[in-house]
Amino acid sequence: MNPPLLSVVIPMYNEQEVLPLLIERLRPLLDGAGVAYEVVAVDDGSADATGAMLIQAARQWPGLRVVRLRRNSGHQAALTAGLHRSRGRYVASIDADLQDPPEKILEMLALARAKDLDIVYGVRDDRSTDTFFKRQTAQLYYRVMRRLVGKKIPHNAGDFRLLSRAAVDALKAMPEHQPVYRLLVPWLGFPSGEVAYRRDVRAAGSTKYPLSKMIKLAIDSVTNFSAAPLRLATWSGLLSFLACLGLGVYSIVQHSRGDTVSGWTSLFTAVLFIGALQLLCLGLLGEYLGRLYAEVKGRPMYIIGYDSAMHVPAQEPADEADGDRLTEAAAR
């Protein structure tokens, strides 16, 4: 089978509310674009009707391919599964919630083909529809990331982007277990362009990125790209050692003068400070050690439960139980 020109990867987790709206908007758009395409909907172990709805929709829409992960593996892992299994010469990734306008995918494709680019970022030029908290945390995130990874990180470019097959293959070749694509992709250094867009409000349903997942993304981002926090531990350890040395000399001098009456305050704060510092450094070490441990274990990032492209129901009509009797293949 010839690879399609365009793959559209959509990670979804419990998106039953927004799914009909998404299909309604995406299908006419892609059908009308006059290119061969596949939509790779990655059901990230949803607990609601998303999986069943996707399988249902795929019966009427030959361009829709459903990949189901056995368990909820997280946005970046779902994206990985989609990228790994996509076949298109260009691969776009987009959220399911219609915050990113799907129409822009065609604009990205046109730009990539016209200028022979490997990466086209969707860049949010207006975040006014995001909550104040989201805007502030996002701004902080991108500022820190530009510091750590370099100036190449486009501001406000999330996971709405188009990649060429070459870029996808380069990403596939990376053995990372906690990839953060918004940092990895710029790091590749392929020729890139940008398409600006306005971020809409979520079309339906509620966010699948609670604070805990945002924090996880931030920690993954920092530790994936930089050992700077470890160095921070070294430096603060060194500084506090010097400070302690000074304080030690001071206390000896005071002692020799017979001036050692009071001072539990300074002692108390010093003990607290050193204790905190040690815990901080241990925590940092633990963070990286944990990552090493995860990499060494080499456990797959996700497990495919079902891929409609690997199972073409020729004569027999597919039924809901299909998902269970299909091959369970480790992702790597």
Which residues of this protein are in contact with ligand UDP, per CB under 6 A? 11-13, 15, 44, 72, 74-75, 78, 95-97, 99, 207-209
The CB-of-289 to ligand UDP minimum distance in angstroms stands at 25
Which region, judged by CB under 5 A, interacts with Mg ion, from 39-47, 88-96, 126-134, 139-147? 88-96
Q: What is d(CA 116, CA 214) in angstroms, rounded to the nearest whole number?
A: 34
The CB-of-207 to Mg ion minimum distance in angstroms stands at 6
The CB-of-58 to ligand UDP minimum distance in angstroms stands at 18
Q: Between residues 118 and 159, which has the closer beta carbon with respect to ligand UDP?
A: 159
Which region, judged by CB under 5 A, interacts with Mg ion, from 66-74, 77-85, 93-101, 225-233? 93-101
Q: Between residues 150 and 210, which has the closer beta carbon with respect to ligand UDP?
A: 210
Q: What is d(CA 95, CA 73) in angstroms, rounded to the nearest whole number?
A: 16
Q: What is d(CA 96, CA 82) in angstroms, rounded to the nearest whole number?
A: 13
Q: Between residues 108 and 284, which has the closer beta carbon with respect to ligand UDP?
A: 108
Which region, judged by CB under 5 A, interacts with Mg ion, from 39-47, 87-95, 162-170, 304-312? 87-95
The separation between CA 185 and the C-alpha centre of its own chain, rounded to angstroms, equals 11
The CB-of-248 to ligand UDP minimum distance in angstroms stands at 50
Binding mask 44-83 for Mg ion (x = CB under 5 A): ----------------------------------------
Q: In this structure, are strands 119-126 and 90-93 parallel, antiparallel, or unpaired?
A: unpaired
Q: Between residues 48 and 176, which has the closer beta carbon with respect to Mg ion?
A: 48
